[in-house]
Structure 1
Amino acid sequence: MSEPIKKKNGDISKAPTPQNTPASVTNSYLKSQPPTVPTIEEGNENKINQTLANNPVLLSMIQGKLGDLVGKSSGYVANLPSAVKNRIYGLKSIQQQQMKLEAEFQKELLELEKRYFKKYEPLYAKRKEVIVGDVEPSEKEIEEGKALEEKDDDDDEEEEDEEEEEEGKEQDQEDGKDAKGIPGFWLTALENLSTVSETITDRDSEILEHLIDIRMQYLSTPGFELIFEFGEGGNDYFSNSILTKTYHYQAELGYSGDFVYDHATGCEISWKSKEKNPTINIERRKQRNKTTKQTRTIEKITPTESFFNFFDPPKPPKVDHEDDDDEEHNHKEGDNENVDDEEEDEEDEDLEARLELDYQLGEEIKDRLIPRAVDWFTGDAVDFAYPDEFDGDEDEEFSDEDGEDDDDDEDDDDEDGDNSGQGEKQPPAECKQQ
């Protein structure tokens, strides 16, 4: 089911669903909650801060102790009287009964979504036919669309539009004689969805121009599949006519009562040549043999950023408690092991960020792009926002000094020349397209 588009200036409350994020795969959600500490009186706070600042050894010891306490039981419940503990056990049983009802609710809600999705499918099929030019919308549908457009526009904008329409009417009639359907519909819609547009390169755009449909279907198990269908022009790049991406959820509900994201699987893209593959860069250079004076061409292939990496998703890490014990043991070996641990932590953070982005892209295409595709094509949806777009510091400002630094950076970029365009983004760790 798609959630409604809400205006930016509306009263928006975001429902927290951390169990739906890839972080829940590594069981890091509950462990990431910071420990609570009693409030420190304002009069003593400055003295304590000054004491800790002057004694870094003491500060380090306190931080180490606090780190050991995170996620550990305080022992308070264990020391309660038996009668009180029995009441707590009873509350757990009552809560479990409620969670069983919550599980039934979520499953019935999913079935309701599937039932209504069946009603959407004929409308999505007709949308595809109009986009590719197989059918034309009826006069009634055109009039209803015009009425909706006029309702959303202001009076001044309507007058300007009418003048522009009259001026360009004759030209439009000439230009539109050979036009079929709505060219570039899905590419334009994808580029207007900011999260997705950041992954689209110029090379990707040449291929995505041939997209004729994006649709989804529910799985028999919790999850959904995204389907990207390409027209004849896509055959110039790969032999697939359809590319798919499947998102799987765990069978059991998470702590919050929602379905928990588990993993995603993509399809194998059969590129017709390495030159047609936008997920790789090919560097060729000639090398001469000093003895024979013969030359040969050396080819170096490196993965690069591309929208089509979407079909080769990152794999969630497997939780291995034995490895955790080994890491704790290695942590005590010396400084070299500490450096290795830091590098592994950075890799884990990078993987988790990639998993979260991959999950976010799939959810946005499913819940935002597919149901309101025409609004993303026209740009109307850009003027609206979903709750998650309000995260972060909205009032963040920059000073003149920052602006000067930016100017310096721009000068440095200019000095770098043409090579600066390819080295800004880190290549993805995996690239399995062929």
Structure 2
Amino acid sequence: MSDSEAQPKVRQGMEDEGPLSFINSLPVPLHKRVWALRALKAKEMHFEVDFYRQLHELERNLVLCCADLRERRRQIVMGDSEPTEDISTELEAKLWLDGPGGSAVASNSNMPAGIPNFWLTIFSNVPQLSDMIQEHDKPILRYLKDVCVIYSSPGEPMSYQLDFCFSPNEYFSNSTLTKTYHLKNEFDSSNLLSFDGPEIISCTGCSIAWYKGRNVTVRLLQKTQKHRSRGIIRTVTKKFPMTRFSTFSILQKCLWWRNPRMLKML
């Protein structure tokens, strides 16, 4: 059978049978060629896995290199310090003075420290996040003062941790909410084309220590109950999950920030 005659049979066979069983049913010359290609692809996948390992290390090094800059950002956002000439270039200053806010640059003793509601404003304007933020999330996000990502070190199982740092608030006692995502950077030898980089296989996180009556992920409803025989009436408070996911219920269920590269938008 010539190669040109075999092509229609290959297409039809792939539709009628599973890939592996079909390959095993091919004539010996075709069988050898297809398995040779599959072996080459498997070797290529090892390079791809190593690529993502190196990418993980590069992103870790990038975070470490930017640590001082991120800390400087936090200080400015929280009002712990004011911008200095080393980060306010002459061009940046000119753009600001010539912009809509130029007339407001004059000293104002009533101006709040830092940049109020910085992270709430960011989240509300990032398309991937804005739809997740509910009205009852916003008062809490006003207390968010920083977001950090920590990558696993070389030689450790691949993972990353997200830290959400909060100022003291009336909702929970945690100063930092954390979530660690554990990754699998391996390909499936039975389905080589299914690999698309590391995938999340599990995650662990902290418990949110909500103050009494301040948990925004549940609804408290009071119902009156009457005892059938004694006739005594009592009030019972029951907790019901919110009908729509909020930012904090999503964080608790490990569904938020599944990709640390989203932090680059911030």
Q: How does 1:64-75 map to 2 (within 5 A)?
A: 72-73=18-19
CA drift at 1:265: 2.6
- CA gap of 1:259–1:70, structure 2 versus 1, over 3 A, is farther
- Equivalent residue for 2:142, pick from 206, 209, 217: 209
- Equivalent residue for 1:303, pick from 233, 237, 241: 241
TM-score by length of 2: 0.78
Deviations 1:101-134 (A, max 9, x none): 2222222222222222210111111111111111
Q: Which residue of 1 aligns with 2:223?
A: 285
- CA gap of 1:191–1:71, structure 2 versus 1, over 3 A, is farther
Indicate if the aligned counterparts of 1:267 and 1:311 stay in contact, CA closer than 8 A: no
Code of the aligned partner of 2:177: L
Given the alignment of the two structures, is residue 115 of structure 1 paired with residue 8 of structure 2, yes or no? no
Indicate if the aligned counterparts of 1:237 and 1:271 stay in contact, CA closer than 8 A: yes
Q: Which residue of 1 aligns with 2:179?
A: 245
Given the alignment of the two structures, is residue 96 of structure 1 paired with residue 35 of structure 2, yes or no? no
Q: Which residue of 2 aligns with 1:173?
A: 108
* Matches of 2:217 and 2:17, distance apart in 1: 42
Code of the aligned partner of 2:205: G
Given the alignment of the two structures, is residue 222 of structure 1 paired with residue 158 of structure 2, yes or no? yes
Given the alignment of the two structures, is residue 190 of structure 1 paired with residue 123 of structure 2, yes or no? yes
* Matches of 1:147 and 1:207, distance apart in 2: 35
CA drift at 1:295: 3.0
Given the alignment of the two structures, is residue 276 of structure 1 paired with residue 209 of structure 2, yes or no? no
Given the alignment of the two structures, is residue 367 of structure 1 paired with residue 261 of structure 2, yes or no? yes
Indicate if the aligned counterparts of 1:266 and 1:313 stay in contact, CA closer than 8 A: no
Q: Which residue of 2 aligns with 1:18?
A: none
Indicate if the aligned counterparts of 2:137 and 2:247 stay in contact, CA closer than 8 A: yes
* Matches of 1:104 and 1:287, distance apart in 2: 63
Code of the aligned partner of 2:168: E
Deviations 1:335-367 (A, max 9, x none): xxxxxxxxxxxxxxxxxxxxxxx26x432xx32
Identity, in percent, stands at 26
More helix by share: 1
* Matches of 2:239 and 2:176, distance apart in 1: 26
* Matches of 1:251 and 1:98, distance apart in 2: 14
- CA gap of 1:293–1:146, structure 2 versus 1, over 3 A, is same
* Matches of 1:205 and 1:70, distance apart in 2: 55
Deviations 1:45-83 (A, max 9, x none): xxxxxxxxxxxxxxxxxxxxxxxx787349653333223
SS class of match (1:135): coil
* Matches of 2:178 and 2:28, distance apart in 1: 56
More strand by share: 2
Higher relative contact order (CA 8 A, sep 6+): 1
Structure 1, gaps ≥5 residues long = 1-36, 39-68, 151-157, 315-357, 374-434
* Matches of 2:231 and 2:119, distance apart in 1: 52
CA drift at 1:198: 2.2
CA drift at 1:226: 0.8
TM-score by length of 1: 0.50
Structure 2, gaps ≥5 residues long = 1-10
- CA gap of 1:97–1:268, structure 2 versus 1, over 3 A, is same
- The CA RMSD over aligned residues, in Å, is 2.9
* Matches of 1:107 and 1:245, distance apart in 2: 21
